[in-house]
Amino acid sequence: MIVILVYIIGIRTFLVNILSPRTFALANPDLYMGMDVTENALLVSIGQFGTSFFWLACLIGIVFGVYHWRLNLPRRGVLITMAGLFLYVPVVLSSFVSENGGFSYKLFFFPLLIITVYLSPRFDLIQGVKKISPLFLGFIYASLISIFLNPTWAYSIYSDSLIGIPIRLFGVAEHPNSLGYLALFYLVLARLSTKKTFWWYVHQIAAMIVLILAQSKTAWAALIFWLILEWLIKNASMSRQGTARVLSAALVFALLAAMYLLLYQQDFMSSVTNYNITLTGRTSVWRITLDTWLQDPILGHGPTLWNLDFRQQYYISWAGQAHNQFLHTLGESGLIGVFGLLFYFLVLIYLGSRYVDVTNFSSLGLVIIILVRSFTESPFRNYYLDGSFLFHAILFIVLVHSESLLESSTKGLQINST
Protein backbone atom coordinates (compact mmCIF):
# COMPACT_ATOMS: atom_id res chain seq x y z
CA MET A 1 0.00 0.00 0.00
CA ILE A 2 2.88 2.39 0.74
CA VAL A 3 4.32 1.82 -2.72
CA ILE A 4 0.90 2.47 -4.26
CA LEU A 5 0.59 5.65 -2.21
CA VAL A 6 3.98 6.90 -3.45
CA TYR A 7 2.96 6.24 -7.05
CA ILE A 8 -0.33 8.11 -6.56
CA ILE A 9 1.57 11.18 -5.34
CA GLY A 10 4.22 10.85 -8.04
CA ILE A 11 1.89 10.31 -11.00
CA ARG A 12 -0.41 13.11 -9.87
CA THR A 13 2.61 15.41 -9.61
CA PHE A 14 3.89 14.30 -13.02
CA LEU A 15 0.59 15.01 -14.80
CA VAL A 16 -0.05 18.32 -13.03
CA ASN A 17 3.47 19.54 -13.87
CA ILE A 18 2.93 18.82 -17.56
CA LEU A 19 -0.39 20.67 -17.71
CA SER A 20 0.42 23.64 -15.44
CA PRO A 21 1.05 26.96 -17.26
CA ARG A 22 4.61 27.37 -15.99
CA THR A 23 6.05 28.96 -19.14
CA PHE A 24 3.39 31.65 -18.96
CA ALA A 25 4.26 32.28 -15.32
CA LEU A 26 7.91 32.69 -16.19
CA ALA A 27 7.19 35.02 -19.06
CA ASN A 28 4.91 37.36 -17.12
CA PRO A 29 4.73 36.92 -13.34
CA ASP A 30 2.35 39.87 -12.89
CA LEU A 31 -0.20 38.31 -15.21
CA TYR A 32 0.29 34.95 -13.53
CA MET A 33 -0.67 36.44 -10.16
CA GLY A 34 -4.15 37.13 -11.46
CA MET A 35 -4.46 34.00 -13.53
CA ASP A 36 -6.91 31.33 -12.45
CA VAL A 37 -5.35 27.98 -13.38
CA THR A 38 -8.64 26.29 -12.56
CA GLU A 39 -9.76 27.29 -16.05
CA ASN A 40 -7.92 24.19 -17.22
CA ALA A 41 -10.62 21.56 -16.70
CA LEU A 42 -8.30 18.62 -17.31
CA LEU A 43 -5.80 19.95 -14.76
CA VAL A 44 -8.56 20.35 -12.19
CA SER A 45 -9.86 16.84 -12.84
CA ILE A 46 -6.41 15.30 -12.45
CA GLY A 47 -5.88 17.20 -9.23
CA GLN A 48 -9.23 16.13 -7.82
CA PHE A 49 -8.88 12.49 -8.84
CA GLY A 50 -5.31 12.35 -7.55
CA THR A 51 -6.35 13.83 -4.22
CA SER A 52 -9.30 11.44 -3.94
CA PHE A 53 -7.08 8.44 -4.65
CA PHE A 54 -4.64 9.71 -2.03
CA TRP A 55 -7.35 9.92 0.62
CA LEU A 56 -8.71 6.51 -0.37
CA ALA A 57 -5.28 4.86 -0.28
CA CYS A 58 -4.56 6.35 3.15
CA LEU A 59 -7.93 5.19 4.46
CA ILE A 60 -7.39 1.65 3.18
CA GLY A 61 -3.84 1.67 4.52
CA ILE A 62 -4.95 2.78 7.99
CA VAL A 63 -7.80 0.24 8.18
CA PHE A 64 -5.53 -2.57 6.99
CA GLY A 65 -2.78 -1.43 9.36
CA VAL A 66 -5.08 -1.43 12.39
CA TYR A 67 -6.27 -4.91 11.43
CA HIS A 68 -2.69 -6.10 10.87
CA TRP A 69 -1.40 -4.92 14.24
CA ARG A 70 -4.61 -5.79 16.14
CA LEU A 71 -4.20 -2.54 18.11
CA ASN A 72 -0.82 -3.79 19.36
CA LEU A 73 0.88 -0.82 17.72
CA PRO A 74 4.51 -1.22 16.61
CA ARG A 75 7.32 0.42 18.55
CA ARG A 76 9.39 0.90 15.43
CA GLY A 77 8.67 4.31 14.00
CA VAL A 78 6.98 5.78 17.08
CA LEU A 79 9.58 8.52 17.60
CA ILE A 80 9.52 9.96 14.10
CA THR A 81 5.73 9.56 13.90
CA MET A 82 5.19 11.59 17.06
CA ALA A 83 7.74 14.18 15.97
CA GLY A 84 6.12 14.43 12.53
CA LEU A 85 2.64 14.92 13.96
CA PHE A 86 3.93 17.49 16.45
CA LEU A 87 5.42 19.37 13.49
CA TYR A 88 1.94 19.97 12.02
CA VAL A 89 -0.12 20.48 15.19
CA PRO A 90 0.96 24.14 15.71
CA VAL A 91 -0.12 25.27 12.23
CA VAL A 92 -3.53 23.60 12.64
CA LEU A 93 -3.86 25.37 15.99
CA SER A 94 -2.80 28.65 14.41
CA SER A 95 -5.37 28.22 11.63
CA PHE A 96 -8.11 28.21 14.29
CA VAL A 97 -6.73 30.84 16.68
CA SER A 98 -5.08 33.30 14.30
CA GLU A 99 -7.06 36.31 13.15
CA ASN A 100 -6.10 35.40 9.59
CA GLY A 101 -7.64 31.92 9.80
CA GLY A 102 -6.76 29.69 6.92
CA PHE A 103 -8.02 26.32 8.10
CA SER A 104 -8.15 23.81 5.24
CA TYR A 105 -8.36 20.05 4.81
CA LYS A 106 -4.97 20.32 3.06
CA LEU A 107 -3.38 20.80 6.48
CA PHE A 108 -4.03 17.11 7.12
CA PHE A 109 -2.37 15.75 3.96
CA PHE A 110 0.98 14.92 5.51
CA PRO A 111 -0.27 13.97 8.99
CA LEU A 112 -2.52 11.44 7.26
CA LEU A 113 0.44 10.04 5.35
CA ILE A 114 2.45 9.89 8.59
CA ILE A 115 -0.23 7.78 10.29
CA THR A 116 -0.60 5.54 7.22
CA VAL A 117 3.14 4.86 7.01
CA TYR A 118 3.40 4.17 10.73
CA LEU A 119 0.52 1.69 10.69
CA SER A 120 1.65 -0.06 7.51
CA PRO A 121 3.23 -3.51 7.87
CA ARG A 122 7.02 -3.23 7.78
CA PHE A 123 8.62 -4.32 4.50
CA ASP A 124 12.10 -4.89 3.17
CA LEU A 125 13.36 -1.37 2.52
CA ILE A 126 15.74 -2.38 -0.27
CA GLN A 127 12.94 -4.12 -2.17
CA GLY A 128 10.58 -1.22 -1.48
CA VAL A 129 13.02 1.32 -2.90
CA LYS A 130 13.56 -0.94 -5.91
CA LYS A 131 9.82 -0.83 -6.58
CA ILE A 132 9.55 2.99 -6.40
CA SER A 133 12.75 3.65 -8.38
CA PRO A 134 10.89 3.48 -11.75
CA LEU A 135 8.86 6.51 -10.60
CA PHE A 136 12.01 8.60 -10.16
CA LEU A 137 13.47 7.25 -13.40
CA GLY A 138 10.27 8.23 -15.19
CA PHE A 139 10.80 11.86 -14.15
CA ILE A 140 14.49 11.72 -15.08
CA TYR A 141 14.17 10.18 -18.53
CA ALA A 142 10.99 12.07 -19.44
CA SER A 143 12.82 15.31 -18.62
CA LEU A 144 15.73 14.34 -20.85
CA ILE A 145 13.43 13.27 -23.70
CA SER A 146 11.46 16.54 -23.44
CA ILE A 147 14.61 18.43 -24.45
CA PHE A 148 14.33 16.90 -27.93
CA LEU A 149 10.54 16.75 -28.21
CA ASN A 150 9.74 20.29 -27.06
CA PRO A 151 12.87 22.29 -26.17
CA THR A 152 11.11 25.64 -25.67
CA TRP A 153 8.86 23.98 -23.08
CA ALA A 154 11.53 21.79 -21.50
CA TYR A 155 14.02 24.48 -20.57
CA SER A 156 14.51 28.22 -20.32
CA ILE A 157 17.47 30.38 -21.31
CA TYR A 158 19.72 30.86 -18.30
CA SER A 159 22.24 33.70 -18.27
CA ASP A 160 23.39 33.23 -14.65
CA SER A 161 24.88 29.78 -15.16
CA LEU A 162 27.89 28.97 -13.01
CA ILE A 163 29.07 26.25 -15.40
CA GLY A 164 28.62 28.01 -18.73
CA ILE A 165 25.55 26.05 -19.90
CA PRO A 166 23.05 28.67 -21.14
CA ILE A 167 19.90 26.64 -20.42
CA ARG A 168 18.11 25.53 -17.26
CA LEU A 169 16.10 22.33 -17.47
CA PHE A 170 12.52 22.18 -16.18
CA GLY A 171 11.68 18.85 -17.73
CA VAL A 172 8.53 17.39 -16.25
CA ALA A 173 9.03 18.97 -12.82
CA GLU A 174 7.33 22.12 -11.57
CA HIS A 175 10.66 23.93 -11.28
CA PRO A 176 14.36 23.25 -12.02
CA ASN A 177 15.07 23.22 -8.28
CA SER A 178 12.53 20.42 -7.82
CA LEU A 179 13.99 18.52 -10.76
CA GLY A 180 17.51 18.85 -9.37
CA TYR A 181 16.47 17.50 -5.99
CA LEU A 182 14.49 14.71 -7.64
CA ALA A 183 17.61 13.55 -9.46
CA LEU A 184 19.65 13.89 -6.27
CA PHE A 185 17.12 11.86 -4.28
CA TYR A 186 17.41 9.07 -6.82
CA LEU A 187 21.22 9.11 -6.58
CA VAL A 188 20.99 8.75 -2.81
CA LEU A 189 18.33 6.02 -2.89
CA ALA A 190 20.36 4.09 -5.49
CA ARG A 191 23.01 3.58 -2.81
CA LEU A 192 20.65 1.03 -1.24
CA SER A 193 20.98 -1.23 -4.25
CA THR A 194 23.02 -4.35 -3.54
CA LYS A 195 23.70 -5.05 -7.23
CA LYS A 196 25.56 -2.66 -9.52
CA THR A 197 24.41 -3.75 -12.98
CA PHE A 198 25.06 -2.05 -16.31
CA TRP A 199 21.69 -0.31 -16.16
CA TRP A 200 22.40 0.88 -12.62
CA TYR A 201 25.32 2.88 -13.99
CA VAL A 202 23.27 4.14 -16.94
CA HIS A 203 20.60 5.44 -14.57
CA GLN A 204 23.26 7.08 -12.40
CA ILE A 205 24.64 8.93 -15.42
CA ALA A 206 21.17 10.03 -16.53
CA ALA A 207 20.41 11.35 -13.04
CA MET A 208 23.70 13.25 -12.95
CA ILE A 209 22.98 14.83 -16.34
CA VAL A 210 19.57 15.99 -15.11
CA LEU A 211 21.10 17.29 -11.89
CA ILE A 212 23.62 19.31 -13.89
CA LEU A 213 21.17 20.69 -16.46
CA ALA A 214 18.62 21.68 -13.79
CA GLN A 215 21.32 23.99 -12.41
CA SER A 216 19.85 24.02 -8.92
CA LYS A 217 22.60 25.58 -6.82
CA THR A 218 21.12 24.34 -3.55
CA ALA A 219 20.86 20.79 -4.93
CA TRP A 220 24.52 21.00 -5.90
CA ALA A 221 25.34 22.31 -2.43
CA ALA A 222 23.37 19.43 -0.85
CA LEU A 223 25.35 16.93 -2.94
CA ILE A 224 28.64 18.51 -1.88
CA PHE A 225 27.67 18.58 1.80
CA TRP A 226 26.55 14.96 1.63
CA LEU A 227 29.82 13.77 0.04
CA ILE A 228 31.98 15.82 2.42
CA LEU A 229 30.13 14.58 5.50
CA GLU A 230 30.29 11.01 4.26
CA TRP A 231 34.04 11.29 3.79
CA LEU A 232 34.51 12.85 7.23
CA ILE A 233 32.37 10.18 8.90
CA LYS A 234 34.22 7.33 7.21
CA ASN A 235 37.58 8.75 8.27
CA ALA A 236 36.66 9.87 11.79
CA SER A 237 38.28 8.29 14.84
CA MET A 238 35.00 8.13 16.79
CA SER A 239 31.95 6.01 15.92
CA ARG A 240 30.18 6.69 12.65
CA GLN A 241 26.83 7.33 14.32
CA GLY A 242 28.28 9.80 16.80
CA THR A 243 30.26 11.62 14.11
CA ALA A 244 27.21 11.78 11.86
CA ARG A 245 25.11 13.34 14.61
CA VAL A 246 27.72 15.94 15.52
CA LEU A 247 28.36 16.94 11.91
CA SER A 248 24.64 17.04 11.01
CA ALA A 249 23.87 19.21 14.03
CA ALA A 250 26.80 21.46 13.08
CA LEU A 251 25.30 21.77 9.60
CA VAL A 252 22.00 22.99 11.07
CA PHE A 253 23.79 25.60 13.16
CA ALA A 254 25.84 26.66 10.13
CA LEU A 255 22.69 27.13 8.03
CA LEU A 256 21.05 29.18 10.80
CA ALA A 257 24.21 31.28 11.12
CA ALA A 258 24.27 31.86 7.35
CA MET A 259 20.62 32.94 7.49
CA TYR A 260 21.45 35.41 10.28
CA LEU A 261 24.38 36.87 8.34
CA LEU A 262 22.28 37.34 5.22
CA LEU A 263 19.50 39.00 7.20
CA TYR A 264 21.39 41.21 9.62
CA GLN A 265 24.98 41.42 8.41
CA GLN A 266 24.47 42.16 4.73
CA ASP A 267 27.10 44.93 4.75
CA PHE A 268 29.65 42.52 6.21
CA MET A 269 28.74 39.80 3.70
CA SER A 270 29.00 42.28 0.83
CA SER A 271 32.43 43.46 1.96
CA VAL A 272 33.70 39.88 2.21
CA THR A 273 32.27 38.62 -1.08
CA ASN A 274 32.20 41.92 -3.02
CA TYR A 275 28.67 40.93 -3.97
CA ASN A 276 25.26 41.80 -2.57
CA ILE A 277 23.87 38.35 -1.73
CA THR A 278 20.08 38.27 -1.95
CA LEU A 279 19.60 34.64 -3.06
CA THR A 280 17.57 35.84 -6.06
CA GLY A 281 15.34 38.01 -3.89
CA ARG A 282 14.78 35.49 -1.13
CA THR A 283 16.24 37.71 1.60
CA SER A 284 13.47 40.25 0.95
CA VAL A 285 10.91 37.51 1.47
CA TRP A 286 12.70 36.52 4.67
CA ARG A 287 12.47 40.04 6.09
CA ILE A 288 8.77 40.32 5.28
CA THR A 289 8.20 36.96 6.97
CA LEU A 290 10.02 38.11 10.09
CA ASP A 291 8.03 41.35 10.24
CA THR A 292 4.83 39.33 9.89
CA TRP A 293 5.87 36.95 12.68
CA LEU A 294 6.42 39.88 15.08
CA GLN A 295 2.71 40.66 14.85
CA ASP A 296 1.97 37.36 16.66
CA PRO A 297 5.19 35.79 18.01
CA ILE A 298 3.54 32.85 19.77
CA LEU A 299 1.16 31.42 17.16
CA GLY A 300 2.26 33.23 14.01
CA HIS A 301 0.28 34.44 11.03
CA GLY A 302 -1.34 31.13 10.17
CA PRO A 303 -1.32 28.97 7.02
CA THR A 304 -2.38 31.90 4.81
CA LEU A 305 1.22 33.13 5.00
CA TRP A 306 2.43 33.80 1.44
CA ASN A 307 -0.80 32.75 -0.21
CA LEU A 308 -2.01 34.77 -3.22
CA ASP A 309 -3.68 37.50 -1.18
CA PHE A 310 -0.62 37.86 1.05
CA ARG A 311 1.72 38.10 -1.95
CA GLN A 312 -0.38 40.77 -3.61
CA GLN A 313 0.17 43.03 -0.60
CA TYR A 314 3.90 43.09 -1.35
CA TYR A 315 3.78 42.70 -5.15
CA ILE A 316 5.86 39.53 -5.00
CA SER A 317 4.31 37.04 -7.39
CA TRP A 318 6.78 34.17 -7.21
CA ALA A 319 7.02 33.54 -3.46
CA GLY A 320 4.43 30.93 -2.55
CA GLN A 321 6.31 30.31 0.71
CA ALA A 322 9.04 31.98 2.77
CA HIS A 323 11.83 30.09 0.98
CA ASN A 324 13.37 29.09 4.30
CA GLN A 325 11.79 26.39 6.46
CA PHE A 326 12.84 27.94 9.79
CA LEU A 327 11.47 31.37 8.88
CA HIS A 328 8.35 29.97 7.23
CA THR A 329 7.50 27.94 10.34
CA LEU A 330 8.26 30.95 12.53
CA GLY A 331 6.00 33.22 10.49
CA GLU A 332 3.28 30.62 10.04
CA SER A 333 2.97 29.05 13.50
CA GLY A 334 5.23 31.16 15.72
CA LEU A 335 7.54 29.99 18.49
CA ILE A 336 5.42 26.89 19.14
CA GLY A 337 5.90 25.82 15.54
CA VAL A 338 9.66 26.45 15.65
CA PHE A 339 9.95 24.27 18.75
CA GLY A 340 8.25 21.44 16.84
CA LEU A 341 10.48 22.02 13.81
CA LEU A 342 13.72 21.90 15.82
CA PHE A 343 12.55 18.74 17.57
CA TYR A 344 11.79 17.19 14.17
CA PHE A 345 15.25 18.19 12.94
CA LEU A 346 16.83 16.45 15.93
CA VAL A 347 14.82 13.28 15.32
CA LEU A 348 15.77 13.24 11.64
CA ILE A 349 19.45 13.65 12.53
CA TYR A 350 19.26 10.97 15.22
CA LEU A 351 17.56 8.39 12.98
CA GLY A 352 19.50 9.27 9.83
CA SER A 353 22.72 8.71 11.79
CA ARG A 354 21.41 5.58 13.50
CA TYR A 355 20.88 3.82 10.16
CA VAL A 356 23.95 5.21 8.41
CA ASP A 357 25.71 1.82 8.14
CA VAL A 358 22.80 -0.43 7.21
CA THR A 359 21.55 1.99 4.52
CA ASN A 360 25.01 2.69 3.06
CA PHE A 361 24.67 6.37 4.06
CA SER A 362 21.34 6.74 2.22
CA SER A 363 19.36 7.59 5.36
CA LEU A 364 21.80 10.31 6.35
CA GLY A 365 22.08 11.51 2.76
CA LEU A 366 18.33 12.12 2.54
CA VAL A 367 18.40 13.99 5.87
CA ILE A 368 21.31 16.18 4.72
CA ILE A 369 19.50 16.97 1.48
CA ILE A 370 16.33 18.01 3.32
CA LEU A 371 18.31 20.14 5.78
CA VAL A 372 20.13 21.98 3.00
CA ARG A 373 16.91 22.40 1.03
CA SER A 374 15.39 23.98 4.14
CA PHE A 375 17.77 26.91 3.75
CA THR A 376 16.12 28.23 0.57
CA GLU A 377 12.82 26.31 0.47
CA SER A 378 10.09 25.09 2.85
CA PRO A 379 10.17 21.31 2.28
CA PHE A 380 7.95 20.51 5.28
CA ARG A 381 5.09 22.83 4.31
CA ASN A 382 3.42 20.05 2.30
CA TYR A 383 -0.11 21.37 1.77
CA TYR A 384 -0.06 20.20 -1.84
CA LEU A 385 0.65 16.80 -3.36
CA ASP A 386 3.68 18.02 -5.28
CA GLY A 387 7.38 17.23 -5.63
CA SER A 388 8.24 18.64 -2.22
CA PHE A 389 5.58 16.40 -0.65
CA LEU A 390 7.04 13.40 -2.48
CA PHE A 391 10.57 14.11 -1.20
CA HIS A 392 9.42 14.39 2.40
CA ALA A 393 7.27 11.27 2.07
CA ILE A 394 10.21 9.22 0.77
CA LEU A 395 12.42 10.44 3.62
CA PHE A 396 9.77 9.53 6.18
CA ILE A 397 9.21 6.08 4.69
CA VAL A 398 12.93 5.31 4.58
CA LEU A 399 13.46 6.27 8.22
CA VAL A 400 10.45 4.28 9.45
CA HIS A 401 11.44 1.12 7.58
CA SER A 402 15.21 1.30 8.11
CA GLU A 403 14.79 -0.29 11.54
CA SER A 404 14.11 -3.61 9.83
CA LEU A 405 17.49 -3.44 8.10
CA LEU A 406 19.19 -2.66 11.40
CA GLU A 407 17.51 -5.61 13.12
CA SER A 408 18.43 -7.95 10.27
CA SER A 409 22.02 -6.73 10.40
CA THR A 410 22.17 -7.20 14.19
CA LYS A 411 20.75 -10.73 13.96
CA GLY A 412 23.27 -11.55 11.24
CA LEU A 413 26.16 -10.41 13.46
CA GLN A 414 24.81 -12.45 16.37
CA ILE A 415 24.57 -15.60 14.22
CA ASN A 416 28.09 -15.08 12.86
CA SER A 417 29.50 -14.55 16.36
CA THR A 418 28.04 -17.85 17.55
How large a percentage of the chain has pLDDT more than 90?
62
3-state secondary structure of 168: strand
CB count within 10 Å of CB 267 equals: 9
For residue 372, the enclosing domain spans 2-417
| Residues 243-268 pLDDT 10s | 999 999 999 999 999 898 888 876 66
Confidence of residue 377 (pLDDT cuts 50, 70, 90): very high
Q: H or E stretch including 331?
A: helix 325-354
Domain count, the chain: 1
Q: H or E stretch including 169?
A: strand 167-169
Mean pLDDT, residues 372-383: 93
What pLDDT sits at residue 331? 94
Virtual torsion, Cα 77, 395, 379, 183, nearest 10 deg: 180
| Residues 339-357 pLDDT 10s | 999 999 999 999 999 999 8
Contact 31, 85 (CB under 8 A): no
Q: What is the DSSP string of 366-379?
A: HHHHHHHHHHHS-T
Q: Give the residue among 250, 191, 248 at the shortest CA–CA distance from 369.
A: 248
Q: Which residue blocks in 157-197 are alpha helix, DSSP H?
A: 176-189
- Is the pLDDT confidence value at 376 over 80? yes
Top mean pLDDT of 123-127, 160-164, 179-183 is at 179-183
Mean pLDDT for all residues in the chain? 87
Lowest mean pLDDT among 189-198, 309-318, 362-371: 309-318
| Residues 178-237 pLDDT 10s | 999 999 999 999 998 878 899 999 999 999 999 999 999 999 999 999 999 999 999 888
| Residues 383-405 pLDDT 10s | 989 999 999 999 999 999 988 77
| Residues 19-76 pLDDT 10s | 876 544 443 344 333 444 555 778 888 888 999 999 999 999 999 999 888 878 888 8
Q: Give the residue among 378, 379, 363, 385 at the shortest CA–CA distance from 5.
A: 385
Confidence of residue 314 (pLDDT cuts 50, 70, 90): confident
Burial class (CB within 10 angstroms; exposed 0-12, middle 13-18, buried 19+) of 43: middle
What pLDDT sits at residue 370? 95
Rounded to two decimals, the pTM is 0.90
Q: End-to-end distance of the chain based on CA atoms, in angstroms? A: 38
